[in-house]
Structure 1
Amino acid sequence: MDMGGGRLIRMMILVLVMVLVWKIWDYSSLPVLEPPSFNAEISKGISSSKLQSDQEQNSVLQAPVDEEHLLQETRPTTHKLENKSDKENKEEKQDRIQKGEGIVIKPVYKEKKLNDMGENSETMKIKSEKKEHEESRKLDKKTKKKEKKNEEKEIEKGQKEREVAVKPTMRIEIYYEVLCTDSRNFIMRQLTPAYEKLKDILQVGLVPYGKAETQEKNGKVTFDCQHGPRECEGNIVHACVTNIIKDEAKQIAIVHCMIDRNEQPMVVGKKCVEKHGEKWESISSCVTSDKGASILKHMGEMTHRLKPGVTFIPTITIDGSQEDQKHILLDFHKVLCKRYKGPRHPSC
């Protein structure tokens, strides 16, 4: 039984081998087909029924087969498969998008975003530098403006110092009496006109005392004047004017006004002081108090210190010197121009 079974198996194997050999020989007799080229243009208008029929004919492996015809019929199948694959991929992609999958950030977009951020950063940096530059310019401008202002102040200061050095002033002191005719003539005809022309180089001090005498009894100061008590009263009014009113030009103008008619010192004093815009109350208070007597006493001390002593009223000193009194009384302006040590004055 075993022998019979083995013989049957060997017979079946032999038959299979013969069939296989016959098939191989049959296939080898078929023409060799080149693989289809996808670069050629795909034919149009091939129906799906014809494609199915051609596929069935190809499956039977009929011989002989036209190569070009087979190629043309094979290409639509490939194109259809590719279209189907693309369609399936597209549907799959849409499904993934609906499910929240497949959202891909393209590198190009990311790079562009990064570039935009870089550009923004660069722009901000440029704006910051520009702002700093503008602030620096503003500071520099302010500093330069301040420096220019300081330089102008220094120049102005230097000019003033040079003017002081170039235009020295002369110190003039007038020792006079309010009821003295010579004193009246000198103040009105010589002092006032000369001062109006040369006031920028003059410093004038008025000393209304003359040849009076000062007496003190029981702490009270009294005066004995050359032209009587009315002159002493007038001297005190003049002394208070020179002490209270600080404007030198106003002092000379008020004294000029009063000495023209000084017989009633308080009346004319009020009129002249108010005429030049000053308050008479402060002057009147000075005259009627001990302050007026104290000021006139000081004027007497100044007069008694003169060397040589007073022999004629008025006596005028120029920088402390009593020289050339005769010419001073006749032409004060001319003497001042002659004795001035600075550059020639325009009025000279």
Structure 2
Amino acid sequence: MAVAAALPLLLALLAPALAGAFPGCDYPPPLWCSSPEIAAACQAESHCANLSRPAAAPVELSLFYESLCPACRNFLVQELFTTWLLLPVGILNITLVPYGNAQERNDSGKWQFECQHGPEECLGNMIETCLMHEAKDFNSYFPVIFCLESGSSVTKNLEACLQVYAPQLDGSRIAACVQGDTGAALMHRNALLTEALDPPHQYVPWVVVNGKHTDELQEQAQAALLRLICRLYQGEKPEACGGSGRAPKEPRGCRR
């Protein structure tokens, strides 16, 4: 955007010197990129092509996980968060769905949940879900989730992680969400999203890339996520894409 904004000014400053070079151009420099015809008349196609080229779509990645699954925590901390830090904005969009292998039931109009790693995992899932709901902004809540998942306790470190990574967020509002109907409704939504997976998930972490899950994508994501995203991104490769990746490894997780 900065380059696009600066070019008309630069061309205006250079206009006297360029007038002789572009004798067929009767348009002021700020208009040279306003249409292909004007760009051709002013011999400015190369400049205008760089400005008008549409940005490539970001790679879309959805992570279906549960808060206490060791393989989930490893993938989120070692692969996903690191890749997110290294890539510029606009390369990778991430959706987090904490639910995993949990089960839900409707008990007298209230949703109840049972999790693979017990009640503490259900609480961790709920904390992270309510954190996302309250923060709204991915850049605000993802570092907090990284802090929770990389620390000693997913369920006991929320206030400490907020203080370090998102002091603007109100921990009491997150707690109210966890303890109230909002948290249960949000977790029910996560359950529906997880159960709607096609193919159905067999373990977690379960990675969906650009709307698809295959064994090959899963293996590549768990082995070397940065390398996978760099390969899939169709735009100009960022500097972080040089020489990324490690040797493939067999994906393992928390099976249902």
TM-score, normalising length: structure 1: 0.52
Report deviation, 1:162.
4.4
Q: 1:341 aligns with which of 221, 234, 245?
A: 234
Provide the C-alpha distance between the structure 2 equivalents of 1:213 and 1:167, rounded to a whole number of angstroms: 38
Q: Partner of 1:331: helix, strand, or coil?
A: helix
Contact 1:169 1:202 (8 Å CA) reproduced: yes
Provide the C-alpha distance between the structure 1 equivalents of 2:58 and 2:200, rounded to a whole number of angstroms: 25
Report deviation, 1:312.
1.7
Which residue of the partner structure matches residue 31 of structure 1?
none
Structure 1 residue 322 and structure 2 residue 213: aligned? yes
Report deviation, 1:260.
2.1
Report deviation, 1:249.
1.8
C-alpha offsets along residues 188-238 of structure 1, whole Å, 9 cap, x if unaligned?
Answer: 100011001224111111100001011101101100111011100110000
Which residue of the partner structure matches residue 310 of structure 1?
201
Alignment of 1:85-234 (within 5 A): 162=52, 165-200=54-89, 201-234=91-124
TM-score, normalising length: structure 2: 0.70
Moved >6 Å (runs of 4+): 158-161
Which runs of no fewer than 5 residues in structure 1 stay unpaired?
1-147
Structure 1 residue 259 and structure 2 residue 149: aligned? yes
Task: Identify which of structures 1 and 2 has the higher relative contact order when contacts are C-alpha pairs closer than 8 Å and 6+ apart.
Answer: 2
Provide the C-alpha distance between the structure 1 equivalents of 2:199 and 2:57, rounded to a whole number of angstroms: 26
Change (3 A) 1:199 1:220: farther
Structure 1 residue 245 and structure 2 residue 135: aligned? yes
Change (3 A) 1:162 1:222: farther
Change (3 A) 1:291 1:336: same
Provide the C-alpha distance between the structure 1 equivalents of 2:59 and 2:144, rounded to a whole number of angstroms: 22
Provide the C-alpha distance between the structure 1 equivalents of 2:150 and 2:202, rounded to a whole number of angstroms: 24
Report deviation, 1:292.
0.6
Provide the C-alpha distance between the structure 1 equivalents of 2:49 and 2:157, rounded to a whole number of angstroms: 43
Change (3 A) 1:161 1:289: farther
**What one-letter code is carried by the residue in structure 1 that aligns with 2:141?**
Q
Which residue of the partner structure matches residue 171 of structure 2?
280
Provide the C-alpha distance between the structure 2 equivalents of 1:345 and 1:339, rounded to a whole number of angstroms: 12
C-alpha offsets along residues 81-129 of structure 1, whole Å, 9 cap, x if unaligned?
Answer: xxxxxxxxxxxxxxxxxxxxxxxxxxxxxxxxxxxxxxxxxxxxxxxxx
Give the strand-richer structure, 1 or 2: 2
Alignment of 1:72-91 (within 5 A): none
Contact 2:220 2:228 (8 Å CA) reproduced: yes
Q: Partner of 1:206: helix, strand, or coil?
A: strand
Identical-pair percentage: 26
Report deviation, 1:339.
1.3
Which runs of no fewer than 5 residues in structure 2 stay unpaired?
1-27, 36-47, 242-256
* Residue-pair matches, total: 195
Report deviation, 1:279.
1.7
Which residue of the partner structure matches residue 108 of structure 1?
none
Provide the C-alpha distance between the structure 2 equivalents of 1:227 and 1:160, rounded to a whole number of angstroms: 52
Contact 1:234 1:262 (8 Å CA) reproduced: no
Report deviation, 1:264.
5.6
Provide the C-alpha distance between the structure 2 equivalents of 1:223 and 1:312, rounded to a whole number of angstroms: 18
Computing the radius of gyration over CA atoms, which structure comes out larger, 1 or 2?
1
Contact 2:64 2:205 (8 Å CA) reproduced: yes
Structure 1 residue 291 and structure 2 residue 182: aligned? yes
Which residue of the partner structure matches residue 332 of structure 1?
225
